[in-house]
Structure 1
Amino acid sequence: MRNLWIFLSKYSAFFFFIIFFVCSVTMVVKNNSYQHATFINSSATVVGEAYARINGYKSYLNLKEKADLLAAENAALRQQLKTSFYYDSVTQRTVKDTLTKQQYTYIVARVVNNSVNQKDNFLTIDRGTRHGIGKDMGVVTANGVVGIIRNVNERYATISSLLNSETHVSATVAGTNAFGSLIWGIGNSDPTIAILQDIPNHIIVKPGQKVVTTSQSTLFPAGHPIGTVKRINRNSGGSFWDIEVKLSTNFATLEYVYVVNNLFAAEQKQLEAENNKVK
């Protein structure tokens, strides 16, 4: 306490100056309309900027929550696309009865682990069987195909990335009826390039054409983007093209993905399995 009094007495002139200065400013502001208005406007500006900064910090802290919300909304909107519905049409003479049935639903998931520089690359997502994820489901983003679910437990699942030599996706060059198999890692390890094989060489293919998924697979809805044609090469057999495809998915920056749930997949696989038994 003694030291406090010594400090106050030593700097008393400074403290008196501060007190008198504040009192004088207060009196000037209160008793003069112009100074009063100026002070109000200035204080409002300072307070407004302070609130803006605080709200900016709060928004930054809530980015993950907002990103999760946006991803969920995107998944819900994706389910409303025409490619997510199956059209059951019956035509007889001039009467046409068309029914739409939901064929694809989407489960949003966050990527918690990822690799792009291995021979066989995998991703891990924070969704599992408790969220409706099952083995052999397709995985996409809004920009392109990501891969196929390989292993699942209650809370997590691993994805065999498109950048994996074991991942083959049925694909076609948009505007043609020919389809082939998209494979990565043939002669290169570039995470942006894959090879589309088995497209007959009588099919006219040009650089820049879109490469999309086909209806030949139960994994993805037909027409989902994969990439664009970069270069066309004749394979060693001479009857087919080896088409270099510039992938539209940036695997190095993946944060959220959508797992594709084909509601008709089990029915189709069961029928095809029975057909194979007959053979």
Structure 2
Amino acid sequence: MQQVIDFIIRKKDVVIYIVLLLFSLTMIVNSNYFHKSKTLIIFNNITNYTFEKFTFFNEYFELKKLNSDLFEENLLLKSEIEKTIKYKNIDSLKTSKFKYKNARIISNSLSSFKNQIIINKGSKEGLKKEMGVINANGVVGIIKRTSQNYSTIMSLLNTDIKINAKVKRTNNFGTLEWNGEDINFLSLNDIPETANIRVGDSIVTGGMSLIFPEGINIGIVSKVNSYNLEKNKLNQTTKTNQNIKLKSRENYLNIEVKLHSDMGKLNNVYIIESMFIEEFNRIKENG
């Protein structure tokens, strides 16, 4: 405060001049309607210009983020197209295996064991139960039921969901499940201990159910444990029910997978329509 006072004392002539100038301008403006209206116009123009520039920069950064998201989504779709073209000459189904429809999320739960997502499209748009749902980063879930204008998705963060997945590097297949704990991690089960799985390996869809095309991103391996090791730990604490469950998975790995998608920040998604899933399911049911 003392520094401010010292500055004013040193520059008192300039300060007095500015005060008198502002006082004079105020008197002139208030005493004359013409000057007053002109001043208000100038002030409004300055205010509008400043607001316009602020809005421009704000929209610029929002558009930059939107363009980044759209770029990632386009890369995903481009990847799917390239895969389809790659197998065009050897796949009798050719380019008609899957179709994609976009939708927007309007509700997303994270705090229960049976988390669900609601999107703004339903049966009127051709959506059906058991259609896969993805976004730019990877798998999101599977449609559980539809109404005319909305659909409910069983999120990856639902203890009932099971996704056919594989380790991209080794091609080992397993079942992806959520244990109801951390929303950023899932477990990949049914992969034998003999498999050479490493931390950092990519986990993608296996393509064996026709709900998802093969190779859609899910996440990366963050931890690899043996169920036998976990069973030995439980034997020391006598947790009978969990021990029985682990016994059935002896000689298999317990693989922790960190999701690519931030399930708490989902916005736009793509619905995957498999053109042959009904035929596939009929053959599967008939054995």
The residue aligned with 2:220 is 228
Unaligned stretches of 5+ in structure 1? 1-12, 26-43, 91-96
CA separation of 1:16/1:156 partners in 2, compared to 1, >3 Å: closer, same or farther? closer
Change (3 A) 1:16 1:122: closer
Change (3 A) 1:18 1:103: farther
Match of residue 3 from structure 1: none
Once the two structures are superposed, what CA deviation does each residue of 1:59-113 show, in whole Å capped at 9, x if it has no partner? 59xx79x969x869947971762235683536xxxxxx99942322211111111
- 1:179-194 to 2 correspondences below 5 Å: 179-185=173-179, 188-194=180-186
Letter in 2 for 1:112: I
Aligned match of 2:195: 203
The alpha carbon displacement at 1:52 in A equals 3.1
1:31-82 CA-partner distances (Å, limit 9, x unpaired): xxxxxxxxxxxxx99886554345567x59xx79x969x8699479717622
Structure 1 or 2: more strand by fraction: 1
- Residues 1:141 and 2:141 are matched in the alignment: no
**d(CA) in 1 for partners of 2:75 and 2:128?**
19
Tell me the residue number matched to 1:38. none
**Secondary structure of the corresponding residue to residue 281 of structure 2:** helix
CA deviations 1:100-140 (Å, max 9, x no partner) are: 42322211111111111101100100010111211100001
Partner of 2:282: 270
Which whole-Å CA distance do the structure 2 matches of 1:179 and 1:202 have between them?
13
User: What is the distance in 2 between the residues matched to 1:206 and 1:244?
Assistant: 11
Residue identity over aligned pairs, in percent, reads 31
Q: Secondary structure at the match of 2:190?
A: strand
**Distance change (3 Å), C-alpha of 1:105 and 1:118:** same
Cα 1:106–1:76 change in 2 (3 A) is farther
Distance change >3 Å, CA 218–CA 85, structure 1 → 2: farther
Which sections of structure 2, spanning at least 5 residues, go unmatched? 1-25, 39-44, 228-245
Alignment of 1:108 with 2:102, yes or no, is: yes
Find out whether 1:248 has 2:260 as its counterpart: yes
Of residues 262, 270, 281 in structure 2, which corresponds to 1:258?
270
Written as runs of structure 1 = structure 2, the 5 A alignment for 1:84-163 is: 84=84, 87-89=87-89, 100-163=94-157
* 1:87–1:98 CA contact under 8 A, matched in 2: no
Question: 1:47/1:115 Cα in 2 relative to 1: closer, same or farther (>3 Å)?
Answer: closer
Matched residue, 1:78: 77
How big is the shift at 1:184? Answer: 0.3
Contact 1:114/1:124 (<8 A) preserved: yes
Q: Where does residue 218 of structure 1 map in the other structure? A: 210
| Structure 1 residues 177 and 15: alpha-carbon distance in aligned structure 2, compared to 1, 3 A threshold | closer
1:251 partner SS: coil
Report the counterpart of residue 23 of structure 2 in structure 1.
none
Count of aligned positions: 234
Q: CA deviation at 1:208?
A: 0.9
Higher helix share goes to which structure?
2
- Alpha-carbon offset, residue 264 of structure 1: 2.5
1:257 CA displacement: 1.1
Q: Structure 2 counterpart of 1:193, which letter? A: F
1:107·1:259 contact (CA, 8 Å) conserved in 2? yes
Alpha carbons 1:84, 1:104 under 8 Å: kept: no
TM-score, normalised with respect to structure 1: 0.70
- What is the TM-score with the length of structure 2 in the denominator? 0.68
- Matching residue of 2:169: 175
Provide closer, same or farther for how the CA distance between residues 232 and 16 of structure 1 changes in structure 2, counting only shifts above 3 A: closer
Once residues 153 and 172 of structure 1 are traced to their aligned partners in structure 2, the CA distance between those partners, rounded to angstroms, is 33
Contact 2:193 2:252 in 1 (8 A): yes
Q: CA RMSD in A?
A: 3.9
Alpha-carbon offset, residue 19 of structure 1: 4.5
